[in-house]
Amino acid sequence: MEFLNSKPIFLVVSAPSGGGKTTVCNRLLASDLGLQRAITCTTRAPRPGEVDGKDYYFLTKDQFESRKAADEFLEWANVYGNFYGTLKSEIIRRLELGQDVIVSVDVQGVASIAKMAKNDPVLSASFVSLFIALPSVEALRKRLEGRGSDSPEVIQKRLDTARTEMQTCGGFDYILLSGSMDEDYERAYAVVLAEKMKRSRISQSDLEKYIGLFH
């Protein structure tokens, strides 16, 4: 899909666990929007078929800690003993190439990225946050139970965390009230379209060149 030489966007998608952010991101990546997935770092071992530099940047814990100490991550998290993080350099590189980038992170990760974006001109010009909000805690409970992968204790823990996370949605640029998987995808798709067509993302010189075609 083509746009009027729009400046790139850095779309950060978040939701409570089980809210569908990964599914939405994967469908957006497979769409005609041209979004690129940022390659993240992890300390877990590669799974069969995974390639370093394509699926993840696989780091040792010492390498991860060194990069964390050097403040190289936009956000990072400890997930069941393994570390995951998004490198600032990975995002900046893609944006400077004119690529639209998408990442899926938890609410705390979005807060960290937003804080860093305020002090970086490239990130601040491209950063867009989208929160997938569930209609209620009970709606989320049904989704988690429907997955059949978590124990009742784990589900309750996720719900307790979700209550706090859903209270932070007021700080996001867009709030998508979740419906069906298709509805969520279509609404997220519309957000990307709206951002790409914003007047503020088109430089005055590019606009003048376009207008000049009709003189």
Residue 73 placed within a domain: no
Question: How many domains is the chain partitioned into structurally?
Answer: 1
Residue 130 placed within a domain: yes
Residue 140 placed within a domain: yes
pTM value? Answer: 0.88
Whole-angstrom distance, CA of residue 160 vs CA of residue 141: 11
CA gyration radius, the chain: 18
Q: CB–CB of 167/52 below 8 Å?
A: no
Beta strands in 20-139, from DSSP E residues, in sequence order: 36-37, 41-42, 57-58, 73-79, 82-87, 101-104, 127-133
Nearest to 188 by CA among 7, 61, 5, 33: 33
The token pair at 152 is: 């009742």
Whole-angstrom distance, CA of residue 138 vs CA of residue 154: 15
Residue 1 placed within a domain: no
User: Which range marks the domain in which residue 133 is found?
Assistant: 10-38+93-212
Residue 98 placed within a domain: yes
The token pair at 180 is: 């069906």
Which CATH number covers residue 176?
3.40.50.300
Q: The tokens 């606009």 sit on which residue?
A: 207
Residue 133 placed within a domain: yes
pLDDT at position 158, please? 80
The token pair at 132 is: 């997938």
Residue 191 placed within a domain: yes
Nearest to 140 by CA among 164, 120, 116, 174: 164
- Where the chain has pLDDT below 70, the residues are none
121 CB contacts (<8 Å, ≥6 apart)? none
pLDDT at position 148, please? 73
Task: DSSP letter for 52, please.
Answer: B
Q: The tokens 């998004």 sit on which residue?
A: 86
Whole-angstrom distance, CA of residue 179 vs CA of residue 133: 9
Q: CB–CB of 24/132 below 8 Å?
A: yes
Residue 31 placed within a domain: yes
